[in-house]
Amino acid sequence: MHALSAHLKRSKGDFSLDIEVDFIQGITGIFGPSGAGKTTLMHLLVGLEKPDEGFLKIEETTMVDTFKNIYEPARNRKVGYVFQEGRLFPHMNVRKNLLFAAKYIPKGKQVIEFEELVNLLELNNLLEKRPKQLSGGEKQRVAIGRALLSSPKLLLMDEPFSSLDVKLRRQIIPYLIKINRKFNIPMLVVSHDLPDLLSLTRELFLLKNGRVLGQGNYLDLIEQENMLDVMRGAGLMNVIQFKVEAHDKKNGLTILSNKDASEEISIEREMVLDCCQIGDEMNVSLRPEDIALTLEKIPNISIRNQLPGTILKVIQKENRNYCLVDVGFKLLISITHASLLKMELSEGKKVWCLFKSMALQTNT
Ligand SMILES: Nc1ncnc2c1ncn2[C@@H]1O[C@H](COP(=O)(O)OP(=O)(O)OP(=O)(O)O)[C@@H](O)[C@H]1O
């Protein structure tokens, strides 16, 4: 069953949006430059703006069809929406804000328990406070909690991490993944921050000028130059899922594995000390600039991680060049034009990808 299927058109001044969206489940990121139409799309889906033309179905129920004169208002759509700026009711305390949407859900139909949510989002000490007494990040956590407590069929989030600090992002991102898996609530998440978005999902819609430029897995999208251009300004990043295999206490390392990679990867233990036990899955970021390419494995070097791979694609962009290398999973590597020429790098060539343990950042 499709969580969402829509084809919507809307013009505002010089801007026109014409977007087809279709997705079944999971978490999908919406990424695009400022003015691409991300917020407009969210507003059309949730019912805050009306399309000039088009249709919208949520779980096969038609919510909008301009040809049949159907227009269900926001309250009938069962779409949870987390606004960019939170938008809590100022006259209610946090507890009442959280429970506001939940009170319309019949007893026993509540998907997420109040107590569980409050604990996970660390809202215990905030329950009696009014929104004006909260920081931006606290407001956003309450807004996420409130949207989830309305037991939505679909959850939309517009820049949900923009005012959260790194610690809270690391806490909330795995929680959203857990909610998505446990309760099967499909999520559409708008974010300017590509590494954050990629920690949550690798499935993206790329928007530009009110149109869908591409849809699919991040690593497939960056192979296409026009899409790489859109994403480049936001900080390209490798986000890789690993399993914690062992803690090598003697050497202060944690050993990670990726089921598709040929080699195990070691990571400095200090960085993962609190969050990971053996068997845990974790997302790790690695900047394309922090990976070096060589033509042979190098013994006696302090760089601990050396993965053999094959160049899938060489992408040349003005003064920046990238190689996409298959090491079992795909790695994007930034390289100078001089090295590209000197090493005669081209598609199909065998290389080694080198990166220090310290270059790996744990996201979740
Ligand atoms: N009321 C309006 N009248 C005319 N144009 C508008 C109106 N509201 C928005 N726009 C234009 O519509 C376009 C899309 O805006 P939208 O807010 O959807 O973009 P966005 O991708 O969410 O941008 P950002 O990342 O900056 O939030 C922009 O070019 C904006 O200037």
Structure tokens at 26: 């999971």
Instruction: List the Cα angle 259/225/310 in 5-degree steps.
Output: 35
Mean pLDDT of 305-328: 88
Count other Cβ atoms within 10 Å, centred on residue 275. 15
Mutating to test ligand 1, I would choose from 39, 157, 189 the residue with most ligand atoms within 8 A of its C-beta, which is 39
Residue located nearest, by CA, to atom 8 of ligand 1: 12
For residue range 48-72, list pLDDT tens digits in order: 999 999 999 998 899 999 999 999 9
| Strand order across the beta sheet in which 320-326 lies | 292-294, 350-355, 305-317, 320-326, 330-335
For residue range 123-150, list pLDDT tens digits in order: 999 999 999 998 877 888 888 888 888 8
The pLDDT-based confidence of 159 (bands split at 50, 70, 90) is confident
Q: Distance (Å, rounded) from C-alpha 194 to C-alpha 202? A: 10
How buried is 312 (Cβ within 10 angstroms: 0-12 exposed, 13-18 middle, 19+ buried)?
middle
Checking if the pLDDT of 46 tops 80, the result is yes
Q: Distance (Å, rounded) from C-alpha 242 to C-alpha 281? A: 6
Checking if the pLDDT of 182 tops 70, the result is yes
| Largest separation between any pair of C-alpha atoms in the chain | 72
Domains and CATH numbers, the chain: 4-232 (3.40.50.300), 238-362 (2.40.50.100)
Beta carbons of 21 and 49 less than 8 angstroms apart: no
Mean pLDDT of 196-210: 89
The pLDDT-based confidence of 6 (bands split at 50, 70, 90) is very high
pLDDT at residue 291, as a whole number: 96
What is the average pLDDT score of the chain?
86
**Pairwise pLDDT comparison (275 vs 341), residue with the higher score:** 341
Structure tokens at 325: 């290398």
pLDDT at residue 119, as a whole number: 85
Residue 207 Cα to ligand 1 midpoint, Å, equals: 13
The pLDDT-based confidence of 163 (bands split at 50, 70, 90) is confident
The pLDDT-based confidence of 290 (bands split at 50, 70, 90) is very high
Q: Using the 8-state DSSP alphabet, how is residue 133 labeled?
A: G
Beta carbons of 58 and 65 less than 8 angstroms apart: no
Q: Distance (Å, rounded) from C-alpha 195 to C-alpha 287? A: 10
Residue 291 Cα to ligand 1 midpoint, Å, equals: 37
Ligand 1 pocket, CB under 6 A: 12-13, 15, 32, 34-40
Residue 41 Cα to ligand 1 midpoint, Å, equals: 10
pLDDT more than 90, % of the chain = 38
Mutating to test ligand 1, I would choose from 10, 11, 12, 230 the residue with most ligand atoms within 8 A of its C-beta, which is 12
Computed from CA positions of residues 260, 265, 269, 271, in that sequence, does the dihedral angle turn out positive or negative?
negative
ipTM of the complex: 0.95
Q: Using the 8-state DSSP alphabet, how is residue 214 labeled?
A: E
pLDDT at residue 199, as a whole number: 83
Residue located nearest, by CA, to atom 12 of ligand 1: 15
Residue located nearest, by CA, to atom 16 of ligand 1: 37
Beta carbons of 244 and 282 less than 8 angstroms apart: yes
